[in-house]
Amino acid sequence: MARLWPLLLLLVVAARARPGADGTCPERALERREEEANVVLTGTVEEILNVDPVQHTYSCKVRVWRYLKGKDVVAQESLLDGGNKVVIGGFGDPLICDNQVSTGDTRIFFVNPAPPYLWPAHRNELMLNSSLMRITLRNLEEVEHCVEDKPGTHFTPVPPTPPD
Ligand SMILES: *[C@@H]1O[C@H](CO)[C@@H](O)[C@H](O)[C@H]1NC(C)=O
């Protein structure tokens, strides 16, 4: 039995070093993901934009359906691109497990305004902060539950959620 330990350790290290590569990506708890993201929204990918030549990630234009958190953050920092669209960067980030989208995908996005060290490339963009989440009633309820646990958060009216 003792001889198996190095092998087990190696497997654990390999799984962590290559997030998502073997389908068992270690994702942080939802509560933690919600806390780390200043903005959580549902939206549909309308267009794949530029690829970041340094980070090897790409950005997308996303039509927002609903803010679960941080609508004021987006409004204040003039991140809106013509009414109800935002640009989200960081797709393909190897630090994020589920990090890929195609045009037409509707997801829950956990994002933060791009910090200044990512300017000018990502100026006025939101950056993906953790894995994309599929829109199901259960997922929405779980995310809302995390947001509601915090004092001082507000909800926006609920437009109909498009089918996934
Ligand atoms: C997510 O946001 C937190 C800050 O809230 C930051 O420390 C962390 O590095 C971000 N993760 C990614 C993958 O950008």
Res 27: pLDDT: 81
> Residues enclosing ligand 1, CB less than 6 A?
36, 93, 95-96, 112, 129
Confidence of residue 82 (pLDDT cuts 50, 70, 90): confident
Domains of the chain: which residue ranges?
A: 28-145
Instruction: Reply yes or no on whether the pLDDT at 11 is more than 70.
Output: no
Q: Whose CA is nearest to atom 1 of ligand 1?
A: 129
How buried is 44 (Cβ within 10 angstroms: 0-12 exposed, 13-18 middle, 19+ buried)? Answer: buried
Tell me which residue has its CA closest to atom 2 in ligand 1: 36
pLDDT at 81: 79
Substitution candidate for ligand 1 out of 30, 129, 131, 150 with most atoms within 8 A of CB: 129
pLDDT at residue 12 is higher than 60: no
Using CA positions, which residue lies closest to atom 9 of ligand 1?
A: 129
Domain 28-145 has CATH 3.50.50.60: no
